[in-house]
C-alpha cells in the first residue's frame, strides 16, 4: 500500500495583538485544511499573537491570552482528527519561549521551544525570548487551569522531540532554524523523520525569495524528506511586510507554493499530496546518508497511538502525489509593484483612515509612490472581480460607504478617485514641466488631483522674518547674491511649508468631499536620499508612512520604466511615467535662471549610482571609511586613488552630518538590505565627529603609499 499523505501549510495575515482576528484566521485555516483532507496543518511563527508584538511579549497578559486562544481552538473542536501545529509564546518556569504547540484532538502533544533565535537585521527575538538549550531533555509543562478544565490534561512535554504517528514520524523547526549553519532538521532527518515543518515569521526584502527557497529545497534534497513551510503574510503592524510563500517541498522539489504578495485573502491554505514511500526510496539510494543516519544519536520521541497521517483506505489510485512545480519568483520590479502595494492596503484598511494624500511633485520619487498606490487599486479591483467579498467589504469601509451599500469599484482609476489624493504644490521655482507631469500622471492613475501654489505661505514666512529682523535682512537666493545660509533657509522653508499644507489638506479633504475621517499622508524619500541626508528634515519626507523609503533610486528608476509599460506587457499601464524617468531629478527649490538649473546629483556632489555603492559597502559590506576606500579602489579603476579617497571622505562627511535625520524618518516599507533606517534596522549614533580624523588620515597615508 502506498503511503500517501495530504498535508497542509498556510499563509496567515495576522495582526499583532489582534487575538480575536488571529484566532478566527487560525480556525479558518484548520477548517480549510480539514476540508481538503489534510491530517496535518502547520501555521506561521507566533501566529496566535502576531509576529510583531515586540515588547508586548514582556507582558504576562500576552501569554495568558495565547492560552485562551488555544483553549477556544480546542473547545471549537477544529483540532479533532487533525494534528495542528500552532505558533505562540509560552512562559515555562518563569522563562519566555517562542514555541510551537502541537495539538491532536483535545490533547496538547508537545510544546517545542525555538532553539536558535533571530537576532540580526530587523530581528531581536532575544529581547523577549530565551533560546531553548536543554536539547536532550524533555521537561513536563504544567498546563494552565483553563486548559486543564477544557481537556482534563494537566501536563504536556516541553522541549525538542520527534512525533511518532502510526505510519510516519515528523518534527518541527521555527523560522531562523532553517537559516542556521547547523539546522535542527539535519538531525531530525537523519533520525528518520519524514515530514518536517517550519512555522515562520519571515519578512520580504527585494531579491530574497530565492535564498529562502534554496534553503527549503536544500533541507530535503540531500537526505530526502518532506518540508512544509508556513509564513505570516502582510503588514502585522510595523515596517515589515511578511511575504507568505507557504510551500511544500519533497526530496528537494517544490510541489506546492502559495502567494508571496496577496491582498485577496487573509487565509491561504496550501495543500499537497505527498508520497512518503518516495522519501524512503530516495533515502535508501543514498548509501552515505544511511551511514550517517545509522550513527546518529537518538532524539526523544512522543507517540500518538492510533493516529495515521496517511490515507490508509486509499491505494494510491484515488489521490495522486502533487507533481513538482515551476517555482514562481517575481522580478524585482514586480516585487516593488506588489509588496509595498499590499503593505499599504493592510495599513490603510487597518488604520481606519479614509484614503491617502500624496504631495506629487512630478519627479521620480513621488511618482513612484503614486504608481504603487495605483498598483494597489489595480490589485484590489482584480480581487473584487474574482469575487473576494471581504476585499469588497474593506473597500466599502475605506470609501466611507454605508453598511447596505452596493458600491463596487468599476475600475482601478475610479477606485483611486475615491481613496487617493494627489497635490502639486508649486512655488515660483517650480517648472511648468513638473506641474504638467504631475497632472498627467494623476490622470493616468485616476487620483483626485489638486494643483495649488504655496508662494503665499512662503512669502508670509519671509515677511514675518523681515518684520522681526528688518527688510535689509530679507534672505536672498544664491543666484541673486545671497549666502549659502540664506539659500538653504529659503529652500527649506518651501519644503517644510509643503509638509504643513499636506497635513492640513489631508485632514480637510474628506470634509470637502462630504466624507468623514482623515487621509494618511504618504512620503517619497528614497533610501539613498536618507543615506546622504539629501532631504529637509520635517519636510514632505515627514509623512505618516512611506512606501518607497526602503528602495534605492536606481531601482526606482527601473521600476518607473516597468510601470510605464502597458498592462498587456505586464507593466502598470501608466505611460506618462516615461517622461518622468527621462527628466533629471531636481528639487526645484532654487530659481531657474538662464545659466542655472538645480539638479539632485550636482547638489549632492555624487551620483545615485555611487550612493548605491556607498550604501551597500557601508551596511552590507560592513565597511568603515578605510575599507570602503580599499574596496572601491578595486572597482573604480577609471579613477585615481586620490579621487576615490576624496569621494569616500565626502560621502562619510555627508552621511555623518546628516545621520540625525534618520531619527525622524517616516516609517517605511523595508525593502532594501542597505537601508539606513535608524529605528529598527541600522542602529548607529546620530551625533558624529564628521571630520573622521583618524580614519581619513589612514586613507591619506594609503593614497600616498599606493601612489
Ligand X SMILES: NC(=O)CC[C@H](N)C(=O)O
Ligand Y SMILES: Nc1ncnc2c1ncn2[C@@H]1O[C@H](COP(=O)(O)OP(=O)(O)OP(=O)(O)O)[C@@H](O)[C@H]1O
Residues belonging to the active site: 45, 114, 175, 361
Residue 359 site contact among ligand X, ligand Y, ligand DND, none (CB < 5 to 8 Å, cut-off depends on kind): ligand Y
Contact segment (CB under 6 A) with ligand X among 174-182, 377-385, 600-608, 674-682 equals 174-182
Helices (H), ranges, 118-232 = 145-151, 176-179, 184-190, 209-221
Contact 546, 561 (CB under 8 A): no
Rg of the chain, C-alpha, whole Å: 28
What is the DSSP-derived secondary structure letter of residue 301? E
Helices (H), ranges, 233-388 = 276-284, 287-294, 332-351, 364-385
Of residues 534-573, those binding ligand DND (CB under 6 A): 534-537, 539
Binding mask 423-442 for ligand Y (x = CB under 6 A): -xxx---x------------
**364-385 and 432-445 helices, crossing angle to 10°:** 10
Please report whether residue 665 would count as binding ligand Y according to CB under 6 A. no
Please report whether residue 179 would count as binding ligand X according to CB under 6 A. yes
Contact 420, 373 (CB under 8 A): yes
Q: Which is nearer to ligand DND, 214 or 690 (CB)?
A: 690
Of residues 564-603, those binding ligand Y (CB under 6 A): 585, 587, 600
What are the beta bridge partners of residue 4?
A: 275
Q: Which is nearer to ligand Y, 83 or 358 (CB)?
A: 358
Please report whether residue 176 would count as binding ligand X according to CB under 6 A. yes
- Closest approach, Cβ 345 to ligand Y, in A, equals 20
Counting residues that bind ligand X (by CB under 6 A) gives: 8
Of residues 460-519, those binding ligand DND (CB under 6 A): 488, 491-492, 495
The rounded distance, in Å, linking the Cα atoms of 531 and 599 is: 18
Contacts of 81 (CB under 8 A, 6+ apart): 34, 39, 105
Contact segment (CB under 6 A) with ligand X among 15-23, 32-40, 173-181, 590-598 equals 173-181
Contacts of 227 (CB under 8 A, 6+ apart): 185, 196, 197, 198, 216, 219, 220, 248, 249, 250
Cα torsion at 215, 216, 221, 226 (round to 10°)? 160
Q: Which is nearer to ligand Y, 160 or 539 (CB)?
A: 539
Tell me the three state secondary structure of residue 693.
Answer: helix
Q: Select the residue interacting with ligand X from 84, 108, 118, 256 (CB under 6 A).
A: 118
Contact 86, 70 (CB under 8 A): yes
Contact segment (CB under 6 A) with ligand X among 172-180, 419-427, 523-531, 660-668 equals 172-180
What is the DSSP-derived secondary structure letter of residue 257? E
Instruction: Find where cell 518516495 sits.
Output: 278
Of residues 524-563, those binding ligand Y (CB under 6 A): 524-525, 529, 535, 539-540
Please report whether residue 606 would count as binding ligand Y according to CB under 6 A. no
Residue 424 site contact among ligand DND, ligand X, ligand Y, none (CB < 5 to 8 Å, cut-off depends on kind): ligand Y
**DSSP labels for 196-207?**
EEEEE--B--TT
Environment class of residue 318 by beta-carbon count within 10 Å: exposed (0-12), middle (13-18) or buried (19+)? Answer: exposed
Please report whether residue 202 would count as binding ligand X according to CB under 6 A. yes
Q: Which is nearer to ligand DND, 364 or 589 (CB)?
A: 589
Of how many residues is the chain composed? 707
Residue 274 site contact among ligand DND, ligand Y, ligand X, none (CB < 5 to 8 Å, cut-off depends on kind): none
Residues of this chain that interact with ligand X (CB under 6 A) are: 45, 118, 123, 175-176, 179, 201-202
Residues of this chain that interact with ligand DND (CB under 6 A) are: 488, 491-492, 495, 533-537, 539, 587, 589, 603, 660, 687
Amino acid at each position: 500500500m502506498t503511503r500517501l499523505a495530504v498535508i497542509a501549510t498556510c499563509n496567515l495575515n495576522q495582526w499583532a495583538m489582534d487575538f480575536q482576528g488571529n484566532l478566527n484566521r487560525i480556525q479558518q485555516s484548520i477548517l480549510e485544511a480539514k476540508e481538503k483532507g489534510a491530517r496535518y496543518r502547520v501555521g506561521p511563527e507566533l501566529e496566535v499573537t502576531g509576529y510583531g508584538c515586540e515588547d508586548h511579549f514582556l507582558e504576562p497578559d500576552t501569554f495568558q491570552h495565547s492560552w485562551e486562544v488555544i483553549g477556544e481552538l480546542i473547545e471549537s473542536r477544529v483540532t479533532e482528527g487533525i494534528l495542528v501545529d500552532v505558533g505562540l509564546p509560552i512562559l515555562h518556569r518563569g522563562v519566555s519561549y517562542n514555541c510551537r504547540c502541537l495539538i491532536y484532538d483535545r490533547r496538547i502533544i508537545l510544546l517545542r521551544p525555538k532553539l536558535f533565535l533571530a537576532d540580526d537585521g530587523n530581528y531581536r527575538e532575544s529581547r523577549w525570548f530565551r533560546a531553548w538549550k536543554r536539547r536532550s531533555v524533555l521537561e513536563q509543562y504544567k498546563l494552565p487551569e483553563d486548559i486543564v478544565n477544557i481537556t482534563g490534561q494537566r501536563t504536556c512535554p516541553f522541549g525538542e522531540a520527534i512525533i511518532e504517528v502510526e505510519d510516519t514520524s515528523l518534527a518541527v523547526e521555527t523560522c531562523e532554524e532553517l537559516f542556521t549553519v547547523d539546522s535542527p532538521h539535519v538531525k531530525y532527518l537523519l533520525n528518520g523523520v519524514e515530514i518536517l515543518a517550519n512555522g515562520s515569521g519571515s519578512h520580504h526584502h527585494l531579491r530574497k525569495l530565492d535564498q529562502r527557497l534554496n534553503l527549503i529545497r536544500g533541507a530535503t534534497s540531500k537526505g530526502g524528506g518532506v518540508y512544509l513551510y508556513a509564513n505570516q503574510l502582510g503588514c502585522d503592524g510595523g515596517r515589515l511586510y511578511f511575504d507568505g510563500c507557504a510551500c511544500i517541498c519533497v526530496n528537494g522539489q517544490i510541489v506546492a507554493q502559495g502567494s508571496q504578495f496577496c491582498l485577496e485573502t487573509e487565509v491561504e491554505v496550501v495543500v499537497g499530496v505527498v508520497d512518503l514511500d518516495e522519501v524512503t526510496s530516495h533515502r535508501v539510494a543514498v548509501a552515505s546518508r544511511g551511514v550517517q543516519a545509522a550513527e546518529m544519536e537518538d532524539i526523544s520521541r512522543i507517540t500518538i497511538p492510533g493516529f495515521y497521517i496517511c490515507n490508509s483506505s486509499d491505494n494510491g489510485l484515488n489521490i495522486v502525489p502533487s507533481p513538482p512545480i515551476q517555482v514562481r519568483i517575481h522580478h524585482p520590479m514586480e516585487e516593488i509593484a506588489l509588496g509595498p502595494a499590499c503593505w499599504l492596503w493592510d495599513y490603510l484598511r487597518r488604520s481606519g483612515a479614509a484614503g491617502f494624500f500624496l504631495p506629487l511633485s512630478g519627479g521620480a520619487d513621488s511618482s513612484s509612490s503614486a504608481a504603487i498606490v495605483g498598483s494597489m487599486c489595480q490589485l484590489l479591483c482584480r480581487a473584487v472581480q474574482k469575487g473576494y467579498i471581504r476585499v469588497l467589504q474593506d473597500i466599502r469601509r475605506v470609501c466611507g460607504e454605508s453598511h447596505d451599500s452596493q458600491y463596487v469599484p468599476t475600475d482601478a482609476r475610479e477606485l483611486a478617485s475615491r481613496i487617493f489624493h494627489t497635490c502639486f504644490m508649486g512655488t515660483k521655482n517650480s517648472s511648468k514641466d513638473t506641474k504638467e507631469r504631475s497632472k498627467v500622471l494623476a490622470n493616468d492613475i485616476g487620483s483626485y488631483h489638486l494643483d495649488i501654489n504655496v508662494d503665499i505661505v512662503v512669502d508670509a514666512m519671509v515677511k514675518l522674518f523681515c518684520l522681526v529682523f528688518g527688510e535689509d535682512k530679507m534672505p536672498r537666493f544664491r543666484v541673486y547674491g545671497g549666502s549659502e545660509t540664506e539659500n538653504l533657509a529659503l529652500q527649506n522653508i518651501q519644503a517644510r511649508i509643503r509638509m504643513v499644507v499636506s497635513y492640513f489638506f489631508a485632514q480637510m479633504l474628506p470634509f470637502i468631499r462630504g466624507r468623514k475621517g482623515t487621509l494618511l499622508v504618504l512620503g517619497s524619500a528614497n533610501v539613498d536620499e536618507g543615506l546622504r541626508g539629501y532631504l529637509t528634515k520635517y519636510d514632505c519626507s515627514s509623512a505618516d508612512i512611506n512606501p518607497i523609503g526602503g528602495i534605492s533610486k536606481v531601482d526606482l528608476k527601473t521600476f518607473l520604466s516597468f510601470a510605464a509599460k502597458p498592462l498587456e506587457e505586464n507593466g502598470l499601464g501608466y505611460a506618462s511615467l516615461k517622461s518622468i524617468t527621462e527628466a533629471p531629478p531636481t528639487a526645484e527649490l532654487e530659481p531657474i535662471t538662464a545659466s542655472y538649473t538645480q539638479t539632485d546629483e550636482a547638489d549632492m556632489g555624487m551620483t545615485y549610482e555611487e550612493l548605491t555603492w556607498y550604501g551597500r559597502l557601508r551596511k552590507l559590506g560592513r565597511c568603515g571609511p578605510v575599507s570602503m576606500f580599499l574596496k572601491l579602489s578595486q572597482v573604480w579603476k577609471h579613477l585615481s586613488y586620490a579621487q576615490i579617497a576624496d569621494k569616500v571622505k565626502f560621502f562619510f562627511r555627508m552621511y555623518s552630518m546628516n545621520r540625525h535625520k534618520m531619527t525622524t524618518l517616516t516609517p517605511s516599507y523595508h525593502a532594501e538590505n542597505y537601508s539606513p533606517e535608524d529605528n529598527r534596522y541600522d542602529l548607529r549614533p546620530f551625533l558624529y565627529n564628521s571630520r573622521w580624523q583618524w580614519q581619513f588620515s589612514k586613507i591619506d597615508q594609503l593614497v600616498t603609499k599606493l601612489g
